[in-house]
Structure 1
Amino acid sequence: MSAKFTDNDGRLNWRRLGYYARSAFAVLLSAAVLIGGGWFIYSKANEAYVSWRTADDYIGEGTGEEVQIMIPRGAGASDVGVLLMEADVVKSAGTFRKVATRSGKWDQVQSGRFKLTKQIPAETALDMLLDPENAVRLMVTFPEGLAAQRQWAIMDRAANADIGLTAADMAEAASDTSIYQALPGYANGELEGFLFPSTYEVGEPAVASHLIGTQIGQFNRIAEKLELVEGAQALGTTPRNIVTTASIIAAEVNNPDDQPMVARVIYNRINQGMPLQMDSTVHYAVQDWGTVSTTAEQRANPSPYNTYVHKGYPPGPITNPGESALNAALNPAETDALFFVTVNLDTGETKFAATIEEHNANVAEYQAWCQANTGRC
C-alpha cells in the first residue's frame, strides 16, 4: 500500500484514501464531460457540414441504380443539368452547370445516350459523361444482298427499338431522292443498289434521311476504292450495269469465292443474247422473298425486272451489294460457264456448268437436297 494512504504506524488512513478517491473521481468526471461535450459538438458540426454539403449536391457513390440519359445535339450545360436533375442523377441543375463550366472540360461532352448512376455528385456525373465507356452506341446492321424494302424492315425489329426509326420512316425519307446530293449520277435518282450494306452507328435523335445519306456516302467510298467507273469502262459496260450485276450476285450467292464465277456467267449470257433467268430478279419483280425457288406463275410475271421474260439486264439493281459483290462484278472469273445452281443451302456449295446437260445434273442434285430437307427450298 502506498505511503499516501497510511499513517506513520502503517495503518490505512481511510480519510486520506477518500480524499484522493474523490479527487480522482472529479478528474474522471471532468474528462468525461469534456469528451462527451466534444463528441456532441463534433457530431453537430459534422451534421451541419453534411447538410450544407448536400443542399445542392449529392455525396458518395450514388445508389448504384443505372439510368440512361439522352443529350441532344447543341445542348448546353444548363440544359444537361436539368436533364440530369430530372433523372435524379444530380441534386441540382445549377450545381452541375457550375461544375461543368468551371472544369474547362464542358466542350468535350458529346451528344448522345449515356449510362449514369442515380444520386451522384455533379463532378462524378461530368466525369461519367466524359468517359467513352459510358456512351451507349446505337448500331444497326444491314446485311449484303437485301433490297431496300427488306433493309428498312430491319428497323422494325425489337432489337432496334431504341433507335426510334421504323420501316415507314425510312420509306418516307426515300420518297424524295433529290435531297441526296451524293447519290451518283448513274443511280438515275434511285436508291436501290446504293444503300451500302454495313453496320452503322445511328446518332440520336435518329433521322432516317441521315442514315440513308450515310449509306450512300459509304457506297461512294467503296466505289472510289474499287475504281468502279474506270472498271466499268474497261469491261465495256456502264457503272450502272456493274452495280446491277453486283446486286444479282449478292442475291444469288454468299460465298465470295463463287461471286466472280457468277459475274462471268452473267456476262457470258448477256454476250450470247441469252436471258439471265435469275430467280433473284423474279423475287424482286413480285416483291416476295419467302422461298429460294420461284413458281412458274412468278416466272411468267411481266415485270421488266423478270429476267425469265426479258433478255438483258433488269432496269436497275435488285439488291444493295457489298464490296465483295461489286469487286466480283468488276473482276469476273475466266470461265465458259453459262449456268450455276447452289446444290446445298446449308453449306452454300454452288456448282457451275457450261452445258445444259451438266446443269441439269446439278439441278437434280439440288432437288435431291430439297427433298431431303422438306420446306427449305
Structure 2
Amino acid sequence: MPDTGRTDQELIEETELIEGTRKPDDVTDLLDGPPERRSKTAVKRGKSCLAVLVALGIILAGGLFAWQKFSVFAEETLSTPDYTDARGTKDVRFTVPSGASLTSIGIDLQKADVIKSTKAFKKAIEKYNGNPVVQAGTYKMRTQVPAASALNRLTHPAKYRIRKTVQVLEGLRLSDQVASLSKQTKISRKDFQAALKKPQNLGLPDWAHNRPEGFLFPDTYELTGDTSATSVLKQMTERFGTVSDGLDLQGRAQAMHRSPYDIVIVASIIEKEVRRPADRPKAARVIYNRLAHKMPLQMDSTVHYALNKSDRVTTTPADRANASPYNTYKHVGLPPGPISAPGKASLQAAANPASGSWMYFVTVNPDTGETKFATTLAQHDAYVAEFQAWCGKHPGRC
C-alpha cells in the first residue's frame, strides 16, 4: 500500500465514513453537516401542541377566576347566615319603636326570627340604594325571610305598615276627649288624667297658662307601637301649635288688641254655637260686638259647659241662674277658659271675624244648622219665634 502520510487510525475512520458504518459521536460532525429539513407533518404537530397549550391555559385561568368567585360567594354565604326564601314561613307583626336605630331594629328582627342574623341585615343596608329610612310603627312581616326582603318591607310603610288611628271630633270638652281617646287607644282614663296633671310635659303654648282645655286639637292621629297617654296628648298640642302658627293666631290677636288665649275662647264658643262655615265669622263678630258694648254674651253653650250637660239645645231659667263664672248670662265678658276644642275653621273665624253690626244670632233649625243674624232686638225676637216653632215640631229636643 502506498504511503499516504496518514496514520492508521485516520485511514480507518476515513474507510468507515466511506462505507457508512461509522456513527458520528463528535458534535463538530453534526455542526459541520448540512441542516436537516423539517417535514410538514412535524410543523403541524408543533402548531397543534401550541394550540392545546393555549387552550389549556385559558381553561386554567377561567377555572381559577371561577374558583375565586365561588370562594368569595361561599365565604360570604357561610360567614353571613341569611334566609333564602322570600316567601318566609308565617305572618308576624313587627313594631319599630320611635327613634329606633337601624342597628337596634336588626337586633329586634333577629329576635323575632324575621331575619337569620344581624350581619345579613347590615349587608342588606350596605347594598340598599340610598340611605334606608324606617318609620316608627307596626309592620306586616313574614318570619324567616332574607334580610333584604325584611328591609324592603320596613322602607315601604305605605304598603306594609299597619295604620292604627284615632279620630277626635271638634267641639268636645276635655273630659269627653279623654273618654274618646281612652276608648280608641285602650289606654286608661286614669293614665290620661295623670298626664293632664303634668301640663308642662304636653308642649302647650306659653300663653295657654298650662290649661289643656281647648288646646288638644281635634283631628285624626296615627298611633305608634310605643303610644302612651302623654305621647297622644303631645301629638294633639303639637298639631294645635302647627295650625295656630299657620293662622298667625298671635299676630291676629295683637292686631285685635286681644290675647291669643281670648281668641281660643271665642273659637271654642263658635264651635259649639254654629255649624255652617259661612256663619262662623259672623258669630265671631257678634261676640266681639257684644264684648265691645259691655253686653253679656248670653250663650247657652257656656251654661251647658258650666253644668256639664248637653241633652237639650236650650237652657232653663234655673240653668241660667247658675253662679259659675262660665255662665255668660250672669257674667259679662268671656268665660275664664275655652269650653270646647275648636277646629281650624272656628279658630280662623275667631281670628278673622266678619265685618258687620250684628248683635244677635239664633240657630232657627238645629238639624240643618241654619242660623240668622240680627242687629236689633225686635229682629232677634222674630228669629227666636222661628226657633220656638221648630221646637214645637220636635218635642224633647229643646
TM-score by length of 2: 0.70
Show the counterpart of 2:200.
Answer: 178
CA distance in 2, matches of 1:294, 1:62: 64
* Residue of structure 1 aligned with 2:138, choices 113, 136, 151: 113
Once residues 281 and 93 of structure 2 are traced to their aligned partners in structure 1, the CA distance between those partners, rounded to angstroms, is: 47
Q: Is the 8 A contact 2:82 2:120 kept in 1?
A: no
Q: By how many angstroms is 1:365 displaced?
A: 1.7
Given the alignment, which residue of 125, 128, 137 partners 2:153? Answer: 128
Contact 1:152 1:166 survives alignment (8 Å): no
* Cα distance in structure 1, aligned partners of 2:181 and 2:311: 19
Counterpart in 1 of 2:261?
240
Change over 3 Å in CA distance of 1:187–1:108 after alignment to 2: closer
> In structure 2, how many angstroms separate the alpha carbons of the residues matched to 1:247 and 1:200?
21
Residue type at the aligned position of 2:201: I
The question of 1:275 aligning with 2:275 is answered no
Partners of 2:166 and 2:345 in 1: CA distance: 20
Give the equivalent residue in structure 2 for 1:76: 105
* 2:171 corresponding residue in structure 1: 145
Task: Return structure 1 stretches of 4+ with deviation > 6 angstroms.
Answer: none
What do residues 246-286 of structure 1 show as CA deviations (whole Å, max 9, x unaligned)? Answer: 11111111222101111111111112221111111111111
- Aligned twin of 2:326: 305
Deviation at 1:121, TM superposition (A): 5.2
1:345 to 2:366 alignment: yes
What SS does the aligned partner of 2:239 have?
A: helix
**Offset of residue 357 of structure 1:** 2.4
CA contact (8 A) 1:194 1:219 kept: yes
Q: Is the 8 A contact 1:71 1:80 kept in 2?
A: no
Task: Write the deviation string for residues 196-255 of structure 1: whole angstroms up to 9, x where unpaired.
Answer: 222222222102222222222222232222222222222222222111111111111122
Residue of structure 2 equivalent to 1:210: 231
Whether the 8 Å contact between 1:112 and 1:135 is mirrored in structure 2 is yes
> 1:81 & 1:288 partners in 2: Cα distance?
54
Structure 1 residue 61 corresponds to structure 2 residue 87: yes
Give the number of equivalent residue pairs.
310
Measured against aligned partners, the alpha-carbon deviations of 1:308-345 in whole angstroms (never above 9, x if no partner) come to 11111111111122222122112212222221111222
The answer for the alignment partner of 1:169 in structure 2 is 191
Unaligned runs of at least 5 residues, structure 2: 1-77
1:281–1:318 CA contact under 8 A, matched in 2: yes
Aligned identity (percent) is: 42
Distance, in Å, in 1 between the alignment partners of 2:279 and 2:111 is 57
Structure 1 residue corresponding to 2:353, chosen from 332, 339, 356: 332
Per-residue CA distance 1:138-188 (angstroms, 9 max, x = gap): 22222222222221221233xx2xx343433222211121224x4223212
Aligned-pair distance for 1:59? 3.4
In structure 2, do the counterparts of structure 1 residues 192 and 115 end up closer, same or farther at CA, with 3 Å as the change threshold?
Answer: same
For the pair shown, which has the larger CA radius of gyration, 1 or 2?
Answer: 2
Q: TM-score, normalised by structure 1?
A: 0.74
Q: Secondary structure at the match of 1:76?
A: helix
Q: Distance in 2 between matches of 1:60 and 1:176?
A: 48
In the other structure, the counterpart of 1:229 is: 250
Report the Cα offset of residue 306 of structure 1.
1.0
**Partner of 2:277 in structure 1?**
256
Give structure 1 stretches of 5+ with no counterpart. Answer: 1-51
Distance of aligned partners of 1:332 and 1:110 in 2 relative to their CA distance in 1, 3 Å threshold: closer
